[in-house]
Amino acid sequence: MNDDVAKKHAALVERLYKRTNDKSLKWVLDDSRQPKAELGDYTLTLYDGNSRGNPVEYLTIATQYNEVIETVDDEDLSELTPKISKHDSYYPLMEELRALAFRQAVGADRALDDLLEELDDDDL
């Protein structure tokens, strides 16, 4: 892969991580229960899989017509180091991104907050 393209992919993953972590990007689940977000004219989807027996994290970019025009995976970024997280490679960063996006899509944090409020700590 071209170094310039890899750097753009890395920047995209890092920006998505930042926007997901600060909850400024809305994620929903697709029909396969994978997190997806619409950004401009594009749909981004996160999923995991295997390549040669190793776990791999994927990000796809699709047009408004559902045509996948780019697929990024952590193996494509193996020569680069993330600049924004505690992770030393893109696999754990992309894995965490997918987990955060999934939690947002299903509303897990909102549910926990609601339950904690319902169970008010005054009763302890």
Pairing of strands 54-62, 35-39: unpaired
Task: Tell me which residue has tokens 């947002």.
Answer: 104
The pTM of this model reads: 0.90
The answer to whether residue 85 scores a pLDDT higher than 80 is no
Give the Cα separation of 71 and 111 in Å (integer): 32
The answer to whether residue 56 scores a pLDDT higher than 90 is yes
Confidence of residue 104 (pLDDT cuts 50, 70, 90): very high
Confidence of residue 122 (pLDDT cuts 50, 70, 90): low
The answer to whether residue 2 scores a pLDDT higher than 80 is yes
Provide the token pair at 62: 């699709």
Q: Which secondary-structure segment (H or E) carries 72? A: strand 68-73
Average pLDDT value for residue range 42-57: 96
DSSP for residue 122: G
The answer to whether residue 108 scores a pLDDT higher than 70 is yes
Quick one: which of 17, 28, 2 has its CA closest to 94?
17
Confidence of residue 124 (pLDDT cuts 50, 70, 90): low
The answer to whether residue 123 scores a pLDDT higher than 70 is no
Average pLDDT value for residue range 90-103: 97
Task: Tell me which residue has tokens 């494509």.
Answer: 76
What does the domain layout of the chain look like in residue ranges?
A: 3-123
